[in-house]
Amino acid sequence: MTLSEPMRNFFEEYTEAIVIIDDKNETTYVNKAFVHLTGYTLEEFKVFSVPALFQVKVNFTTISLDKNYRWECGLKCKDGTDLWMRVSISPFHFDDKHVGKIYHLSANPTQEQLKNLLKENETRFTILADATPVMIWMTDESNLTYYFNQTWLEFTGRKLEDEIGTGWFKNVHPDDRFVFSEIKKLLTDNINYSCEYRLKRHDGVYRHILEIGTPRFLADGSFGGYMGSCLDITEMKTAQIELANQTKELQRSNEELEQFAYVASHDLQEPLRMVNSYVQLVKKRVEAKRTDGIEEFMEYAVDGVNRMQGLINDLLQYSRVNRKGNPFATVDMNEVLKIVMAHLANKVAENKAQVELSDLPILQGDSFQLIRLFQNLIENALKFKAEGVIPVIKIAVEEKGDFWQFSIKDNGIGIDQKFYNRIFVIFQRLHARTDYEGTGIGLAVCKKIVERHGGEIWIESETGKGSTFYFTIKK
């Protein structure tokens, strides 16, 4: 008993599984969809008794051939999995004489199965989400967060009930909250986004987070909320910032080096020229066998040599700020000022100056360099005092974020704004040596010291009214 060719072709292309049993209860045909669904070929399937396979206690042999039957049952597939399906049996006529049964197997899941499947998927998702090192959250269709994975909760050290809704937002760094106002528009348009912000970790430390948000759509195409993944990128960010700082520092030190080489060579030339011309004069006198003036020329030459020696020593001092600095330690700035005032006691008394100190903080730094810094600035305030005015020098400090901002204010001669930057360059002076002694190294050294302490130095001044030197030191 065989199927006619057109009938076989029809069943082969049929998308649902078909089994045909003849009137002797022997399986005579299974279609392609059946093989695909269960894994059994006709020969393999024949080995089993049909009821055993369908896990149902129905006596198939007694099933009336002129009736249709329908039921749901499990089927053990070749790979061992149980498949839940709807089975319907109908009588089947091979030709006019022979009647068999046709089993129509439909693997559509039932409600119960759907529920189980959903539960299984949810469990799978939760296991996966909790095991991943990425923080994951989900919002509902009104964009209120209702899910955070274990990784998120461990990171923030908070409970799910603290985080849901908008609870998580409290842990976003106040300066970064604007990021979420910016992406609001993207959220209303259901667009993918990525953003960066700082989020407070369980230990109170703010970490840099990279967040990627993706809209979720339900089966009917409607918006179901957002799903987001967040990664702690602090290490990467720190490396990036460090690299940028290093590049900036390299550029700065290159420029400084060029400026330094130019100024140093230029300034060293000046006493060298003087030495050279007086030695030439001495040479001429000696050649002419004359001795008049030689002593005076030699004095000028020696003066030039001394000046050059002074400049070279200054250069050495300047280059030592970074090379020979002490490691940072806890420094009480009140103690620093005490030492500075002891060093300058004579000069302060000579000038009848008033130095007003305020309470200063304790910070991390190189105490020798901090003494040097204050000493240079106070010495300058005394040196560049205004004619006939008692020098008044005020030292103050203010807290500015991560920095302490110190100020040294005097009532001296002041500086024109156009020289504000120049005075911090090595050997740059605004006055002749005869008016005010010095080599122009003091403020250049101050700048180097401040920069070594992570800060900046600048001046605000008015000619004839006085100057205020500001500098910051990292807390």
**Residue nearer to ligand ADP on the CB measure, 277 or 351:** 351
Closest residue by beta carbon to ligand ADP: 438
Reading the block at residue 148, the tokens are: 């955070």
Least Å distance, CB 297 to ligand ADP, is 28
Radius of gyration of the chain (CA): 45
Least Å distance, CB 148 to ligand ADP, is 58
Least Å distance, CB 396 to ligand ADP, is 15
Q: Are 395 and 373 in contact (CB under 8 A)?
A: no
**Residue nearer to ligand ADP on the CB measure, 331 or 408:** 408
Q: How many C-beta atoms lie closer than 10 Å to residue 242's C-beta?
A: 10
**Residue nearer to ligand ADP on the CB measure, 156 or 376:** 376
* Burial 275-309, CB ≥16 within 10 A → b, else e: beebeebbeeeeeeeeeeeeeebeebbeebeebbe
- Residues forming beta bridges with residue 27, ordered by sequence position: 21
Kind and range of the H or E run holding 60: none
Least Å distance, CB 182 to ligand ADP, is 46
Least Å distance, CB 458 to ligand ADP, is 12
**Residue nearer to ligand ADP on the CB measure, 240 or 259:** 259
Least Å distance, CB 326 to ligand ADP, is 23
**Residue nearer to ligand ADP on the CB measure, 30 or 444:** 444
**Residue nearer to ligand ADP on the CB measure, 139 or 467:** 467
**Residue nearer to ligand ADP on the CB measure, 271 or 412:** 412
Between CA 222 and CA 140 the distance in angstroms is 12
Between CA 18 and CA 25 the distance in angstroms is 15
Least Å distance, CB 464 to ligand ADP, is 10
What is the secondary structure of 63-131 as a DSSP string? S-TTS-EEEEEEEE-TTS-EEEEEEEEEEEESSSS-EEEEEEEE-PPPHHHHHHHHHHHHHHHHHHHHH
Between CA 288 and CA 282 the distance in angstroms is 10
Least Å distance, CB 335 to ligand ADP, is 24
Helix (H) and strand (E) counts in the chain: 15, 17
**Residue nearer to ligand ADP on the CB measure, 31 or 467:** 467
List the 27-30 sheet strands across, edge first. 27-30, 17-21, 99-106, 82-93, 69-76
By CB under 6 A, name the binding residues for ligand ADP. 376, 380-381, 384, 410, 412-415, 423, 429-431, 438-444, 467
Least Å distance, CB 376 to ligand ADP, is 6
Compute the 3-state secondary structure of the chain and give helix, strand, coil in percent, each to the nearest 5: 45, 25, 30
Least Å distance, CB 441 to ligand ADP, is 6
Please state at what angle helix 442-452 crosses helix 367-383, rounded to 10 degrees.
150
Least Å distance, CB 266 to ligand ADP, is 16
Give Cα separations from 53 to 26, 34, 81, 82, 316 (angstroms).
14, 13, 12, 10, 96
**Residue nearer to ligand ADP on the CB measure, 384 or 406:** 384
> Position of tokens 């799903």?
227
**Residue nearer to ligand ADP on the CB measure, 365 or 440:** 440
**Residue nearer to ligand ADP on the CB measure, 330 or 434:** 434
Helix, strand or coil, per DSSP, at residue 6: helix
